[in-house]
Structure 1
Amino acid sequence: MSALLLSSEAVAERWNGRRTAAVVLVLTALLLIGLGVGGAMIPESAYAVHFDLANRPPSAADPFGTDWMGRDMLMRTLKGLSISIRIGLFASLVSTLIALLLGVGAAVCGGWVDRIVLWLIDLVQGMPHLVFMIFISILVGRGIPGVMIGVAATHWVSLARIVRAETIHLRTSPYVIASRQMGRGRWFIARAHFLPHIVPQALVNTVLMFPHAILHESGLTFLGFGIPSQLPAVGVILSESMRYLSTGAWWLGVLPGLALLAIVLVIDRCGDSLQALVSPAAAQN
Structure 2
Amino acid sequence: MNCNDNAAIFHALHRQSEPLRLPNAWDAGSALLIESHGARAIATTSAGVAWSHGYRDGDVLPLDRHLATVAAIVRVINVPLSVDIEAGYIDESKEMALTTARFIQAGAIGFNIQDGIGTPDLLCRKIEQARETAERLGIGIYINARTDLYTRAVAPAHDRVEEVLARARQYRDAGADGLFVLGVTDRTEIREIAKGTELLLNVIAWPGLPPAGELSALGVSRISVGSWIPQTLWAQTSTLVAGFLADGRSEPLYDRAAPYPEVNAYF
Query: So what's the TM-score if we normalise by structure 1?
Result: 0.27
Structure of larger gyration radius = 1
Higher strand share: 2
- After TM superposition, the score normalised by the length of structure 2 is 0.29
Would you tell me which structure has more helix in proportion to its own residues? 1
